[in-house]
Amino acid sequence: MISLEDWALIRHLHRSEGLSQRAIARQLGIARDTVASALASDGPPKYQRASMPSAINEVEPRIRALLTAYPRMPATVIAERVGWSGSISWFRERVRAVRPEYLPADPVDRLEHPPGRVIQCDLWFPAPKIAVGFGQEMMLPVLVMVAAFSRFIAAVMLPSRQTMDLVAGMWQLLAQNFTAVPHELWWDNEAGIGRRGRLTEPVTALVGTLGARLVQLKPYDPESKGMVERANRYLETSFLPGRSFTSPHDFNEQLRQWLPTANSRRVRVLDGRPIDFLEADRAQMLALPPVPPMVESVSSVRLGRDYYVRVAGNDYSVDPGAIGQLVEVSTTLAQVRVTRSGRLLAAHDRCWAARQSLTDPAHVQAAAALRQQFQTGPPPAAGDHLVRDLADYDRAFGVDFTTATVPSDGEVA
């Protein structure tokens, strides 16, 4: 078979130099038939190996029959069903090449996001566990929000994935990072946001206050929020490596300092930086509501004799003077406050650890004083003791010690 170089040279000598086939054959030392074939061909010569019979060709019809009925059947199961005894890696390669012919098509439409329309939201769980105090370490969620038009990223670590923590996290990022509200917030089927097409009440209250709409995407449709998924991977590969964190506060502080760098990177699809497109996003977003939404969890409990209230698995001490009374417990991302009729009974930094008791020494002292008062009883009040003349008792029993007389019946009182 003629080589590609000889084929190109033959055509050059014939068309450019004007040599005859006989002259070309004599100059290159090849047969005239070879020259004639090179000039007659429409394209460069290709090497094609003659097909050889293969053992897998015998079982391929049965492979295709199984894939017709069960398109996702594993290759190892197919090998067992067809009685394959050869190389399993070779068998997998053939099944991998054939399987797409039987899988249902799942096309993905390219989404266009106008400015200000959508912010995609998701939870990212960084691999290193964070020290949360009391000798405990936990893998905590990070709320990540990405503006679909500008690709601007905002993120914050949360104590949990419970509804009120998610609501507080969304409001914090919208108010501090975006300073505006998109027309739509896109989430997957996160339990704290809603299930079965019904949003939780705190989330409904939040979007109602914002004047926005929250869209929960259908299952098995990750492409719809691919921007935030890529942002999660970007955080995983560009923020985490080489870092250590002493606390959730330290994590959030390092993340806050790093995000301006992330938002200044050049994004290929934008041909620019997210920070440069953020103003165009904000211009089409809604303004922040004049009254902030309710982002703290409030509950009423009757304070027991041990003067502690439980919040997210931890116990917090309360002024024992309110024992037996209904108190209001307000929980934010950073603090736990207990009040009654507007009077502050306790204020604690929120504990991110689990199964802990947080005690204010002032509450212990107040409890000791109340306990001592209860055990000793109330002090006697002034004027409670009656003072009576003892002579009244002598006259009542008929005894006169001044005359030494006795009663008429002869008995001495």
How many CB atoms neighbour CB 70 within 10 A? 13
pLDDT tens-place string over residues 119-132: 999 999 998 899 99
Q: Give me the percent of the chain exceeding a pLDDT of 70.
A: 90
Domain count, the chain: 4
Q: Please tell me the predicted confidence (pLDDT) of residue 387.
A: 62
If you average pLDDT over residues 252-264, what whole number do you get? Answer: 97
Q: Do 363 and 327 share a domain, yes or no?
A: yes
Looking at per-residue pLDDT, the higher value among 378 and 20 belongs to 20
Q: C-alpha 244: how far from its chain's center?
A: 20
Helix (H), strand (E) at residue 345: strand 343-349
Q: Where are the alpha helices (DSSP H) in 263-329?
A: 274-284
- Residues contacting 222, CB < 8 A, separation 6+: 229
* pLDDT band of 413, cuts 50, 70, 90: very low
Most confident of 17-26, 202-211, 221-230, 380-389: 202-211
CA distance linking residue 311 with residue 345, whole number of Å: 15
Q: Do 138 and 279 share a domain, yes or no?
A: yes
- Asked, for residue 407, whether it belongs to a domain, the answer is no
Range from 169-173, 188-192, 357-361, 400-404 carrying the lowest mean pLDDT: 400-404
Q: Supply the CATH number for residue 267's domain.
A: 3.30.420.10
CA distance linking residue 279 with residue 156, whole number of Å: 22
**Tokens, residue 282:** 């904000």
Range from 40-44, 203-207, 301-305 carrying the lowest mean pLDDT: 40-44
Q: Do 130 and 91 share a domain, yes or no?
A: no
Residue entry with tokens 């394209």: 43
**Tokens, residue 259:** 């995000």
Residue entry with tokens 């995609």: 120
Residue 210: domain span? 118-284
Range from 52-61, 67-76, 260-269 carrying the lowest mean pLDDT: 52-61
- Asked, for residue 386, whether it belongs to a domain, the answer is no
* pLDDT band of 398, cuts 50, 70, 90: confident
* pLDDT band of 404, cuts 50, 70, 90: low
- Asked, for residue 387, whether it belongs to a domain, the answer is no
If you average pLDDT over residues 201-222, what whole number do you get? Answer: 90
Q: Do 156 and 275 share a domain, yes or no?
A: yes
- Asked, for residue 403, whether it belongs to a domain, the answer is no
pLDDT tens-place string over residues 83-123: 998 889 989 999 999 999 999 887 766 778 999 999 999 99
Q: Do 357 and 271 share a domain, yes or no?
A: no
Q: Do 138 and 272 share a domain, yes or no?
A: yes
CA distance linking residue 349 with residue 356, whole number of Å: 13
- Asked, for residue 404, whether it belongs to a domain, the answer is no
Looking at per-residue pLDDT, the higher value among 176 and 384 belongs to 176
Q: Do 280 and 305 share a domain, yes or no?
A: no
The dihedral over CA atoms of 76, 78, 84, 87, expressed in degrees to the nearest 10, equals: -40
- As a whole number of Å, the end-to-end CA separation of the chain is 152
The helix/strand/coil state of 196 is: coil
Q: Do 135 and 273 share a domain, yes or no?
A: yes
Q: Do 95 and 122 share a domain, yes or no?
A: no
Q: Which of 284, 319, 339 is the last residue of a domain?
A: 284
Q: Do 280 and 304 share a domain, yes or no?
A: no
Mean pLDDT of the chain: 89
- Asked, for residue 267, whether it belongs to a domain, the answer is yes
Q: Do 270 and 197 share a domain, yes or no?
A: yes
**Tokens, residue 263:** 């938002």
Of 81, 42, 135, nearest in space to 353 by CA: 135
- Asked, for residue 409, whether it belongs to a domain, the answer is no
Alpha-carbon dihedral sign for residues 205, 208, 212, 213: positive
- Asked, for residue 350, whether it belongs to a domain, the answer is yes
Contact 248, 79 (CB under 8 A): no
pLDDT tens-place string over residues 329-364: 999 999 999 999 999 999 999 999 999 999 999 999
Q: Do 317 and 355 share a domain, yes or no?
A: yes
Q: Please tell me the predicted confidence (pLDDT) of residue 1.
A: 67
